[in-house]
Amino acid sequence: MAAYILRRLALMIPTIFGIMVISFIVVQFAPGGPVEQAIAQMSGTAVGVSERITGSEGGDFAGQAQPAQGERSAYRGSRGLSPELIARIEAQFGFDKPPLERFVTMLGNYLRFDFGRSYYRDISVIDLIAEKMPVSISLGLWMTLIGYGISIPLGIRKAVRDGSRFDVWTSTIVVVGYAVPGFLVAILLIVLFAGGSFWSIFPLRGLTSSGWETMPWYRQILDYFWHLTLPIISMAIGAFATVTLLTKNSFLDEIGKQYVVTARAKGLTERRVLYGHVFRNAMLLIIASFPAAFVSAFFTGSVLIETIFSLDGLGLLGFQAITNRDYPVVFATLYIFSLLGLIIGLISDLAYMWIDPRIDFESRDV
């Protein structure tokens, strides 16, 4: 097992490298990068980056805009800006170096988990991610626990009572829940329970109330879950269908196999057959789907929910970084998400052995 773990860890290196290479190449051809946005700001055709630029070391760039004489810039919209000013903007964002040198420097820094500073927020990227992490941890963790905690028992029950009324109406409910977008559910919950047009039971914004730090510990816990209730419901409703139906179909497939017939013929109770024999085989598919579901819930499934409920988490941060061409934040979040996904995939494989000791990774290739 140790050799298998080492091989998997070694394979993470070229995987991460390939992801970063492809992303870096795509970024080189993406229009409207940070330099272009800064030039547009200097030319008076864009907004949003002046504070970051005028507050940087080297003085106020905006006050140095001069008509270029006899020289042309490679950037669209740079008319009226001196070549020296454009060179200083490029140096500020690190675009005064060749792409290969920038990429090698970035990889070296990332090996030390040094992600630099955000272009437009003037804060360390690692500090910015740590600041947004509690929201994403709260949403992703609780949504995954609630989703799997309900979907797996429900799927098993549906498999045992396949074709019954219970099976039919629960399937209808989970499929309808899957078809309805989470943001529509969020808006409906706000209208009904967050002071929209009916009741004002739950808060509309933030993860905690003002003065949360001074509350007793039990009040802090209650306040925390009070704020999480509507966002978690909005995200979890659509997450039940996949795991529920996967669990049901997996159990149905195992129940029809010969070893189940043999176990029943020996006089074992239905509960013993289901949880002593069928469970560990049927759960393999559920475990295999866990990493993708967890990573999706943790990082990518909450952008609209975070926006609607004013929760400033990693999903919203990543979206804003892409739209603002904040490349340090984009690459750092991509690097962290990819690394975490690979690690969770390894943990998932190790969980196979815990569920079914018959599986031996040492006897097969990676």
3-state secondary structure the chain: CHHHHHHHHHHHHHHHHHHHHHHHHHHHHCCCCHHHHHHHHHCCCCCCCHHHHHCCCCCCHHHHCCCCCCCCCCCCCCCCCCHHHHHHHHHHHCCCCCHHHHHHHHHHHHHCCCCCECCCCCCEHHHHHHHHHHHHHHHHHHHHHHHHHHHHHHHHHHHHCCCCHHHHHHHHHHHHHHHCCHHHHHHHHHHHHECCCCCECCCCCCCCCCCHHHCCHHHHHHHHHHHHHHHHHHHHHHHHHHHHHHHHHHHHHHHCCHHHHHHHHCCCCHHHHHHHHHHHHHHHHHHHHHHHHHHHHHHHCCHHHHHHCCCCCHHHHHHHHHHCCCHHHHHHHHHHHHHHHHHHHHHHHHHHHHHCCCCCHHHCCC
pLDDT digits 0-9 by tens, 41-76: 666 554 444 444 444 444 444 444 444 444 445 555
Q: How many residues does the chain have?
A: 366
Would you state the torsion angle of the CA atoms of residues 222, 223, 224, 225, taken in this order, to the nearest 10 degrees? 50
Return the pLDDT at 366. 44
Joined together, the tokens standing for residue 123 give 């804060």
The pLDDT assigned to 62 comes to 41
Instruction: Provide the pLDDT for residue 48.
Output: 44
- Rounded to an integer, what distance in angstroms lies between the CA atom of residue 88 and that of residue 35? 10
Distance between CA atoms of residues 329 and 315, nearest Å: 12
Q: How many CB atoms lie within 10 A of CB 303?
A: 18
pLDDT at 169: 93
Look at residue 154 in the predicted model and tell me its pLDDT. 92
Distances (CA, A) of 25 to 63, 99, 338: 34, 9, 17
pTM: 0.68
Q: What is the pLDDT of residues 123-132, one digit of tens each?
A: 888 888 888 8
Give residue 5's pLDDT: 81
Q: How confident is the model over 276-333, as pLDDT tens digits? A: 888 878 887 777 677 667 666 666 556 778 878 878 888 778 777 887 778 888 888 8
Dig out the tokens for 188 from the structure: 């409906």
Q: Provide the percentage of residues in the chain whose pLDDT is more than 70.
A: 73
pLDDT at 52: 45
Residue with tokens 């091989």: 7
Mean pLDDT of 173-202: 84
Mean pLDDT of the chain: 77
Percent of residues, the chain, with pLDDT higher than 90: 4
Contact at 8 Å (CB) between 339 and 12? Answer: yes
CB 294 within 8 A of CB 366: no
pLDDT band at 165 (very low <50, low <70, confident <90, very high): very high
pLDDT for residue 166: 92
CB 292 within 8 A of CB 114: no
Distances (CA, A) of 209 to 139, 204, 225: 17, 11, 11
Q: How far apart are CA 162 and CA 343, in angstroms?
A: 36
Identify the pLDDT of residue 35. 65
Quote the pLDDT of residue 104: 87
Show the tokens assigned to 164.
């019954």
Q: Which domains does the chain have, with CATH numbers?
A: 33-96 (no CATH), 126-363 (1.10.3720.10)
pLDDT for the residue numbered 113: 85
pLDDT higher than threshold 90 for residue 239? no
Q: Token pair for residue 227?
A: 């704020």
Q: How many CB atoms lie within 10 A of CB 262?
A: 12
pLDDT for the residue numbered 355 = 64
pLDDT exceeds cutoff 90 at 24: no
Task: Specify which of 50-64, 77-91, 131-145 reaches the highest per-range mean pLDDT.
Answer: 131-145
Calculate ∠ Cα 33-36-40, nearest 5°.
135
**Bridge partners, residue 117, by sequence:** 124
Across 187-215, average pLDDT: 82
Residues forming beta bridges with residue 124, ordered by sequence position? 117
Whether residue 114 is predicted with pLDDT greater than 80 in this model: the reply is yes
pLDDT tens digits, one per residue of 249-259: 888 988 888 88
Lowest model confidence (mean pLDDT) among 37-51, 60-74, 100-114, 190-204:
60-74
Give mean pLDDT, residues 116-145.
Answer: 83
